[in-house]
Amino acid sequence: MKYTIIIALALFIISCKNQEVADMFYPEPPYMSIEKHAEINIRISSYDQELISGTGPAFQSRAAQECFVRTARQVLQMQPLLKAGLTADVHLNSRLLEFHGAIKPQKAPLTDFLVHDFQCSLSILPHYNLAGIISGLEEQRTIAARGDRVALTLFSDSPPDLPAYFVIGRGTTEQGVNLIKVFGSGRIIQIVGEAFDPQNPQEKLIMAQGMIMETNHEVAKDDLIFLSLLDVTAISAYEETPPAPAEPTPTEDEVWVRPEIREPAPAPSEMK
C-alpha cells in the first residue's frame, strides 16, 4: 500500500544510536527546556461521528491536537537550539498527555455546534528517554515533508496512549558544542513492535510509525525526534448570552384632560 511503511528486519542490525547520534546527548541533564502556552476553542458538530465515542473523549482528542498544533507552531517560529542530556529522571507515562477539569460543552446559539474552551501548555525536554530517530521514509524517499509518513525508532518505552506528539530536530555544532536545531513537528500514529540494539542487546528499542505535521524544511532519515509533554485544562464552557429582556409593550391608556378654567380678569375701577 502507498501509505504503508515496511519496517524491515534490517532494523535489528542497524544501530540507531550510532556515534553521531550518541554525541548529541551529554552526560549531564538537559541544559534547558521549552514551554509554550495557548488558549483554544474547540467546536464539534452535534452530528459529527466522532461524538459516538462520547463527548468527553471527542473533545479531549480535538483539544490535544489543536493544543499541539498551536504551541508547536510557536516553537518552530523560534527555531530553537537544544542541548540534549541523559541523566534527568524522565520516563514515559501519563505525563505525555494530561487533562484537567470537567468537560461540559454548551451548544452555540443558532448552530448545531458544541463548543468548549481550553487552556494548554507544551513542554519539550531534550532528554534521551523522550528521544528517538527517524529510521526510514516511505517509498524509499530521501526526504519527507508535511503529511508524509515516516518510520520511527524510540530509545525508550512506547507511549502509553496514542496519538503522541513530537518535535523534529537535526544535529548541529556551535562553538564546539553539539546542539539540536528544532524545525518540525509530527505525531505517532502506530506502535509497530520491539527491536533490540545490536550494540546493546539488553536494551530494547520501540519501532513506530509517525506522520509529519509541520516543518520549516525537508525531513531526512536520521533526524532526531523528542516526544512532547502536553497539559490541557478545560475551562469555563461557552456560555450563551441570554437575550435581553423584552421591554413591555406600552398600552394606550385613556387620558382625561381637565380643561383649564381661567378666572375673568377684574374690570378696571372707575376713576373718581
Residue 63 has pLDDT above 70, yes or no: yes
In the chain, where does DSSP find H-type helix? 19-22, 55-78
Residues, the chain:
272
Indicate the average pLDDT of the chain: 81
Exposure string over 159-197, b if 16+ CB within 10 A, otherwise e: beeebbbbbbbbbeeeeeebbbbbbbbbbbeebbeebeb
Tell me the mean pLDDT in the region 181-201. Answer: 85
Q: State the pLDDT confidence band at 152, using cuts at 50, 70 and 90.
A: very high
Q: State the pLDDT confidence band at 263, using cuts at 50, 70 and 90.
A: low
The 3-state DSSP composition of the chain as helix, strand, coil percent (nearest 5) reads: 15, 40, 40
Residue 26 has pLDDT above 50, yes or no: yes
Bridge partners (DSSP) listed for residue 172: 179
Tell me the mean pLDDT in the region 90-108. Answer: 81
- Percentage of the residues of the chain whose pLDDT score is greater than 90: 47
Residue 149 has pLDDT above 60, yes or no: yes
Q: State the pLDDT confidence band at 46, using cuts at 50, 70 and 90.
A: confident
Residue 264 has pLDDT above 70, yes or no: no
**225-240 pLDDT, tens per residue?**
999 999 999 997 544 4
Task: Quickly list DSSP for 140-187.
Answer: G-SEE-TT-EEEEEESSPPPSSSSEEEEEEEEEEETTEEEEEEEEEEE
- How many Å apart are CA 226 and CA 193, to the nearest integer? 19
Residue 261 has pLDDT above 70, yes or no: no
Closest to 116 (Cα-Cα) out of 127, 134, 98, 101: 101
Closest to 91 (Cα-Cα) out of 125, 121, 135, 134: 125
Predicted pLDDT at 29: 81
Residue 13 has pLDDT above 50, yes or no: no
Residue 6 has pLDDT above 50, yes or no: no
Rg of the chain in Å (alpha carbons)? 32
- Percentage of the residues of the chain whose pLDDT score is greater than 70: 74
Domain assignments of the chain as residue spans, ordered by start: 9-234
**117-142 pLDDT, tens per residue?**
999 999 999 999 899 999 999 877 88
* C-alpha dihedral (138, 142, 147, 150), degrees to nearest 10: 50
* Residue 24 CB-density burial (10 A; 0-12 exposed, 13-18 middle, 19+ buried): buried
Residue 201 has φ and ψ, to the nearest 5°, of -60, -20
Predicted pLDDT at 30: 81
Number of neighbouring beta carbons within 10 Å of residue 86: 15
Q: State the pLDDT confidence band at 256, using cuts at 50, 70 and 90.
A: low
Predicted pLDDT at 39: 95
Q: Which three cell numbers stand for residue 82?
A: 537544544
- How many Å apart are CA 60 and CA 94, to the nearest integer? 14
Q: What is the DSSP letter of 222?
A: T
